[in-house]
Amino acid sequence: MFDTLSDRLAATFKNLRGKGRLSEADIDATCREIRIALLEADVALPAVRAFIKQVKERALGAEVSGALNPAQQVIKIVNDELVNILGGETRRLRYAKSGPTVIMLAGLQGAGKTTLAGKLGHWLKEQKHTPLLVACDLQRPNAVTQLSVVAERAGVAIYAPEPGNGVGDPVKVAKDSIEFAKQKQYDVVIVDTAGRLGIDAELMQQAADIRAAVNPDEVLFVVDAMIGQDAVTTAQAFLEGVDFTGVVLSKLDGDARGGAALSVAHLTGRQIMFASNGEKLTDFDAFHPDRMASRILGMGDILSLIEQAEKTFSQDEAAKMASKLASKGGKEFGLGDFLSQLEQVSKMGSLSKLLGMMPGMGQMRDQINNIDDRDVARVGAIIKSMTPAERDDPKLINGSRRARIAKGSGVHVSEVSSLVERFFEARKMMSAMAGGKGIPGMPGMPGMGGGGARKAKQQKQAKGRKQSGNPLKRAAEQKAALERKAAGPQEGAAFGPGAAKLPDNFELPKEFKDLL
């Protein structure tokens, strides 16, 4: 969603790099570009003005003028102000001291409240709570049925005494659900209300009546992140009519410009608490302003990536795989282990989303967006078509075995061959990294091996080439070297230095001429 904004900000900061000192004109130009980028991202004008004012005041102060790297200091200021405009610190749910915690969902029609109720219920269940979904949307056709299906998928309970479709009193259902939750010992009650328009006085009053009946601990305003500045207008209407304590952004994985996320918290004074960024129940998490600001500026979101990995990966399993890679040159690490790791990564979510959380991946956005998660399933089918012995030792896979595996997995033989070859290359690389030898064929990096011998040899050769101290002689030597380079390879160069020159009357045999 923030791709366009990220690209514009990256281009703006690129112009600052390399400058040892920033003038007032440089800062003005940078702020002008940031303003245009925010307006193009559909951020509300009052939010843009407040943001630019803060950035400009801090950039013109001693904070930047005394910095060793002014460009990086400006980026830090923009990052800090992005965090502020997104709400500052992460806002957590407030739980009731006694009795069930009541969370009421409100928002426009089509904002995704019913689906989000299931996601929130699933998220709370993972947090060791026992949530109860309450069907108070009795206006929209089949809304009760939809919530029942979502609750079943999320593995949480539902309270739906009325069939809906215009039948039943939503205020009574909401009030009765609290007693039901107390009897059945549910500790969180999520009330799904009917979608409404800000100008619909009747439905707005109904939401206010439900709030008065259940006295919720949290009222979450669900806003579609794709509607831009209209989200702010709607949020202000709900703030006046019903009031809410927090905001939930839905459809954050869309291709809109993201102005809602950067506007609603600043203009309503209510923080964004959760974000929904996909269709799966697991595509939902707490909203962290600092992490979102980092992603907008192309710095990735390593903390979220680590959290997802910790939820998915077993530490014992990871240690076991690492020991296999480190011992015997990684030969104990087979295709079965590779498949296990691949399945664990798939549980974390889409590969494109995971790669998007890594720093510096904004430059490879097109390649990341072209990643097809079905390729992972195809690789899994190929490996599962192998025998246990073939998975443990892929060197056993000869031509006839490849044909059998290809037939069993429904792919071409070349795909099986390609997978096996890439596995050997990847295992060699991972084994070298696990053993601290660096990446084969890559220059050495700090703290890693790899390329050290080559680098030492190059340095020795460079040291051996001495230049004359006489400027005229040195210029003549450089000129001669350029002339040799322009003249192309020397005689016999195709067969190595000093090879014999072919005679002038040399002719190819007739057979070779016919082939040519």
Annotated binding residues: 107-114, 192-196, 250-253
The CA distances from residue 101 to 43, 176, 217, 218, 285, in Å, are 34, 15, 6, 8, 19
Contact 325, 427 (CB under 8 A): yes
- C-alpha to C-alpha distance for 164 and 210, rounded to whole angstroms: 16
Task: Give the position of tokens 């061959």.
Answer: 417
Binding residues for GTP, as ranges, are: 107-114, 192-196, 250-253
- C-alpha to C-alpha distance for 270 and 242, rounded to whole angstroms: 13
- C-alpha to C-alpha distance for 299 and 76, rounded to whole angstroms: 11
Q: Which two tokens stand for residue 308?
A: 């997802």
Q: Write out the E strands in 198-261.
A: 218-224, 246-250
The CA distances from residue 259 to 249, 251, 279, 471, in Å, are 11, 13, 21, 62
Q: Which residues, at least 6 apart from 235, have a Cβ–Cβ distance to it below 8 Å?
A: 221, 223, 247, 264, 267, 268, 270
- C-alpha to C-alpha distance for 351 and 370, rounded to whole angstroms: 10
Q: Which residues, at least 6 apart from 301, have a Cβ–Cβ distance to it below 8 Å?
A: 291, 292, 294, 295, 357
